[in-house]
Amino acid sequence: MSDVKQTPGQETEVSRRRFLTLVVHGGWLTAMGVLVYQIGRFLGAEGLESGPSPLVAAGTLADFPPETTTYVPEARAWVHHEAETLTALDAVCPHLGCLVQQKEGGGGFRCPCHGSEFGVEGELERGPAERPLRQLDIQTQADETVTIRTS
C-alpha cells in the first residue's frame, strides 16, 4: 500500500496523465503498425495481400463455345476459344486500369476511359496505353472445368 495520501484533485490529475499516456502510446503503436504494413506492401510480402485468389474458376468448357470471346467477370478476363484452344486476356487496361470492352464486331478491344485499342490477341494498336493486354494462364481440367490464373 502506498503511504502517499492523495487529495481528490490529485487523483483526477493522475488519472488524466495516465489517460494521456495511454493515448500517446496507443497512437505510436497504431502508427508503427501502419508503417510495418506499408513497408510490407512496398516489399511485396505475399501474406499481407488481401486480394482475391489468383486462381479463378471460370466455368466449364461448355461456357466457352468455339469461335467466341466471353467475358469472365470473376477473373476480369476475356476468354477466346478458337481452334480448340482457350486463351485468356486480362481485361484491365495497362494504362490506368479501366476494364477494356470488346469492339463492335469482335475485332479486338477498346478501353472506354481514354481510347486505347488492342487487337484480338491483346497487342497494342493505339495508346495512350504503352503495353499490350496481359496474357493470362488458362487451363482446362479433365472434368472440363476451366480455371484462370489472374496473377
Contact residues for ligand FES, defined by CB under 6 A? 93, 95-98, 111, 113-116, 128-129
Between 79 and 129, name the residue whose CB sits nearer to ligand FES: 129
The number of angstroms, rounded, from the C-alpha of 135 to the middle of its chain's C-alpha atoms is 16
Q: How far is the CB of 142 from ligand FES (least distance, A)?
A: 37
In the bound complex, what is the minimum distance in angstroms from residue 117's beta carbon to ligand FES?
9
Shortest reach from residue 110's CB to ligand FES, in Å: 9
Which residue, among 147, 125, 151, has the nearest Cα to 79 in the 3D structure? 147
Segment (H or E) for 139: strand 135-140
Question: Whose Cβ is closer to ligand FES: residue 57's or residue 120's?
Answer: 120
Burial zone of 134 (CB within 10 Å; 0-12 exposed, 13-18 middle, 19+ buried) = middle
Q: Which is nearer to ligand FES, 75 or 111 (CB)?
A: 111
d(CA 140, CA 147): 7
Q: At its nearest, how many Å lie between ligand FES and the CB of residue 120?
A: 17
